[in-house]
Structure 1
Amino acid sequence: MTGTADDYTATLPRKRMGAGLLFTDPAGRVLLVEPTYKEHWEIPGGCVEADESPYVAARREVAEELGLVVSPGRLLVVDWVPPGGGRTEGVMFVFDGGPLRPDQQAAIRLPAAELRGWAWCTPAEADARLLPLLARRVRAARQALSTGGTGYLEDGHPTA
């Protein structure tokens, strides 16, 4: 084989990646945000940029979307998403955002061009507001949070 390792790795496929945080409250609800550019709600987070780790992306996205500086907790879920519906395949990471203190909730500032609002949602409300894939991912993240584990999903479904 000729060339360097760098030459070889540059030829390997790249995947779309996203990262988000699962924030909870004492009542067991999760924080969802309502984008201005989509019909469905999401957890705070977004795209992992080139040369950025999923952990750093989750922290950056929450700062951009909510105006909060937080350190993500442990990894709750990794979800491989197949291509379809006008999107490429991807790998999505959900980290524990932990509970938000009242002062943090009061400090939330949304970018008006990107987000209409945010809300604490019960599991049923989250299921109704999220696309089915993301609802499955959030349910798995909630499960991982309660069991202390980390879930691996494919298209939002546990593999084992």
Structure 2
Amino acid sequence: MPDAAYYASLPRTRGAAAALLQDDRGRVLLVKPTYKEGWFLPGGVIEHGESPLAACIRECQEELGFTPRLTGLVCVDWGPPNGGHGGADAVNVFVFGGSVTAEEISGIRLPPDELSDHAMVTPEQIPELAAPHVARRMIPSLRGIAEGRTVYLEDGYEPGFGAALRLTR
């Protein structure tokens, strides 16, 4: 049986979960953190022993003050090691799609120590507001929702599976 030293030597990957919530006009809910630049989807780090779905729901409850109506997983985005993940070798971000009503939007209660604002934006506005790595993820996610599929990304980009499959044969 492998020992503790073996497990300690294995790569570490962190996880995050976010909600891509749209209203009946197709606008997306973004939040503005107080501790970093740009606008983001509601969500956050997956805690130890927590599933991505549970993390997404918990983060929305904490950040927005309500439990979102989620319809399913719309994106998994693998982020490479870059030193910005607290020493993790990589990060996996799970994005869940869902909807938000006008009543929920008007009742949003942001935690003032964490978030300073929220906005409903059109998909066209996302690249000018969101951090680049977040914007790269949202556009394919919205396309996946429209096509009824989950997208897989690597650092915000869809990999070319045809070439990858040829290399493994």
In the superposition, the TM-score normalised over structure 2's length comes to: 0.85
Asked if the contact 2:29/2:121 (under 8 Å) is kept, the reply is yes
Asked if the contact 2:71/2:96 (under 8 Å) is kept, the reply is yes
- Report deviation, 1:29: 1.3
The one-letter amino acid of 2:95's match is V
The one-letter amino acid of 2:96's match is F
Per-residue displacement from partner, 1:29-57 (whole Å, max 9, x unpaired)? 11100001111110000000000000000
Asked if the contact 1:20/1:46 (under 8 Å) is kept, the reply is yes
User: Where in structure 2 are there 5+ consecutive unaligned residues?
Assistant: 161-169
The range that moved more, 73-82 or 85-94, is 85-94
The range that moved more, 148-157 or 117-126, is 117-126
2:110 counterpart SS class: coil
Per-residue displacement from partner, 1:131-153 (whole Å, max 9, x unpaired)? 21110101111011100001000
User: Where in structure 1 are there 5+ consecutive unaligned residues?
Assistant: none
Match of 1:101 in 2: 101
Asked if the contact 1:59/1:71 (under 8 Å) is kept, the reply is no
Asked if the contact 1:18/1:92 (under 8 Å) is kept, the reply is yes
Match of 2:42 in 1: 44
Match of 1:73 in 2: 71
Please state if 1:154 is matched with 2:130: no
Per-residue displacement from partner, 1:108-129 (whole Å, max 9, x unpaired)? 1000010011001112221111
CA distance in structure 1 between the partners assigned to 2:122 and 2:50 by the alignment: 32
CA distance in structure 1 between the partners assigned to 2:32 and 2:65 by the alignment: 15
- Report deviation, 1:8: 6.3
The one-letter amino acid of 1:93's match is F
1:136 counterpart SS class: helix
Please state if 1:139 is matched with 2:167: no
Match of 1:17 in 2: 15
- Report deviation, 1:85: 5.6
